[in-house]
Amino acid sequence: MTNMSAAHSTNPLRDPQDRRLPQIAGPCGLVLFGVTGDLARKKVMPAIYDLANRGLLPPGFSLVGFARRDWANEDFAKVVHDSVRENSRTEFREEVWKQLAEGFRFVPGDFSDDVAFDKLRQTIEELDTTRGTGGNHAFYLAIPPSFFGDVVGQLKEHGLSEGPGDAWRRVVIEKPFGHDLESARELNKVLSDVFPSESVFRIDHYLGKETVQNILAMRFANAMFEPLWNSNYVDHVQITMAEDIGIGSRAGYYDGIGSARDVIQNHLMQLMALVAMEEPTSFDAASLRLEKQKVLSSVVLPKRLDLTTARGQYAAGWAGGEEVVGYLDEQDIPPTSTTDTFAAVKLNIETRRWAGVPFYLRTGKRLGRRVTEVAVVFKRAPHLPFSSTQTEELTENALVIRIQPDEGMTIRFGSKVPGTAMEIRDVNMDFAYGGTFTEVSPEAYERLILDVLLGDPPLFPQHEEVELSWQILDPVLAHWAKKGKPEQYEPGAWGPDSAHAMLARDGRTWRRP
C-alpha cells in the first residue's frame, strides 16, 4: 500500500504547492456499490460527472457499478446518464459524457457472490490495461452499514484490497458509523482488518460544504475575531440543523436511528469541534484531527440530563400550507415507535477557552424552515449608559454562519436609529457567497470524492473522532431510553416545549432562523 505522500506524488499534472487551480486526480477508477440507491443516483454519479466536466478527473477515469441487476454495461451507462441529466450541477456536454462513458463497466451480483467478485477483479485488471487506471481504485460503499463487513471481506478474499506495486486502494463509507460506541468500535475493527486507517474515508458531506470550511478561514485568517473567541466575550453557541420536511420514504433507514444519531453525533459535533478548536499548526489532516479530538475529549455532559436535553416526535397538523401526518402515522412506522424526530442537547467544553460557555445543539424534522447555522452569541456590554426605552429592542451581538441554504455570514450589532434621540436598535451586516463571488461553489460530494481520489483526508473524520462523539451521545440515548415516548410537537414549530424550557432555565432563548 502506498503512503499519503506517495499518493500525491503519482499526480504529475499539477504542482501540489500551486494553489491557483484545483488539483487533478492521477490515473484511477472508482467502484460504486449500491448503484441503484438514492445516494448513488442523486449525489455520487452527478458529482463524478461534474468533476469530469471541470477537468478534474484523468482522461482514463473508470466507474464500475456493482449491484444485483441483470444489466449490461450499456444499461448502467443509461442509469448514470439519467442521474447526471437530472441532478448534475454543471451543464451537460456531449464530448465530456462520451469520454467518461467509455470507462463505465457493470458487474452483476450480490455481496456473497464469489463469482461476481472474481468478475470485479477481472474488470479492474482490464481497466488497468485499457484505460490506464494504474491499479489505483477506490471502493465506494453506498450501501447499508450492515453490509460493510461482507463487502470488505470479499474485497480482501479476492485480492482487491491491495493494488499492485505502489498502486493504492481505498474504501469510502457513509454514515451512520455505528449506532453507539460499541458498534462503532466493531465497525472500525471490520475496516481496519482489511484497510489501513489512512485508506479509510468516512464521508460526512457537511464537512465538504464551502461555508463549513469557511469557519476555519473566518477564524484563523482574520485577526478581528480571535481576540473575542473565548469565554470572556462569548455567552453561548447555538448550532442548528433544521428541516421542514418529514421522513418521506426513509422509514426503513430512519426509524430506530432518529435525529440524535443521524445528525448530532456526526454533523453537529463536527461543526462544534471546528468552532471550538484551537488553531492547528497547519491545515493538514493530522493537525486538524488532533485539534478536533482535543475538543471532543474535553466535552462534559451536565449532570441533570432531564433538564439539559430534549427530544420529540412531530405530530399531525399543517405545514407549508398543507395537512401532514404525524410521525407515528407515516408509512411503515410502528405505532409504538419511540424514535426521536427532534433532539437537543446542552454540552460543556471544559477548556480554558470555553469554560462556562454552553454549546446548544439541536436538530429536527418538520420544523419552521430548512436551515443549518452556527450562531456565536456574545455577552451583553457590561455597562449601557442608555435608558431602558432607548435599547428596548436591543439583543446580544451575534455572529451567525449560515451553512445552508443561503450560504454566508451575518453579524448582528446595535446601531443608532436615525433621528435626534439616542435610540439603539439591532441591525445586521450580511455577507452572502452568491452575491460576492462569481464562482459557483462545487457540491460537497464533488470536493469529497476528489479528495478521496487524491488521497487528501483533512475533511474526513477518523475513527477516534467517531468514537469520542459516541462517548458523548451514548449517555443521552441511554437516559432517553428510560423515559419512554418522546414529547409531541406541532409541525412548523421549533420543537417540543421541553426544548424551549431547556434554554429558559439558563435565561436564554433559541434563535428563530
State the number of CA atoms in the 13 A half-sphere of 215 facing the CB: 28
Chain centroid to CA 59 = 29
List Cα–Cα distances, 279 to 216, 229, 275, 284, 298, in angstroms.
9, 11, 10, 12, 16
Are the beta carbons of 313 and 323 closer than 8 angstroms? no
SS3 call for 412:
strand
Residue of 137, 205, 236, 267 with catalytic role: 267
Give dist(CA 321, CA 287) in Å, integer. 48
- The number of residues making up the chain comes to 513
Over its C-alpha atoms, the chain yields an Rg (Å, rounded) of 24
Dihedral angle sign, alpha carbons of residues 443, 449, 452, 453: negative
Contacts (Cβ under 8 Å, ≥6 apart) of 389: none
Dihedral angle sign, alpha carbons of residues 311, 316, 321, 322: positive
**Paired residues of 62 in beta bridges:** 29
Give dist(CA 407, CA 401) in Å, integer. 8
Catalytic site includes residue 179: no
Long-range CB contacts (< 8 A, 24+ apart) of 469-474?
469/265, 469/266, 469/269, 469/296, 470/178, 470/180, 470/181, 470/184, 470/265, 471/181, 472/269, 472/296, 472/299, 472/301, 472/347, 473/260, 473/261, 473/264, 473/265, 473/269, 473/345, 474/180, 474/181
Phi-psi region of 165 (alpha: psi -120 to 50; beta: other; left: phi over 0): left
- CA-CA-CA-CA dihedral for 22, 24, 30, 32, to nearest 10: 20
Are the beta carbons of 137 and 163 closer than 8 angstroms? yes
Chain centroid to CA 350 = 25
Are the beta carbons of 105 and 75 closer than 8 angstroms? no
Are the beta carbons of 288 and 280 closer than 8 angstroms? yes
* Catalytically annotated residues: 267
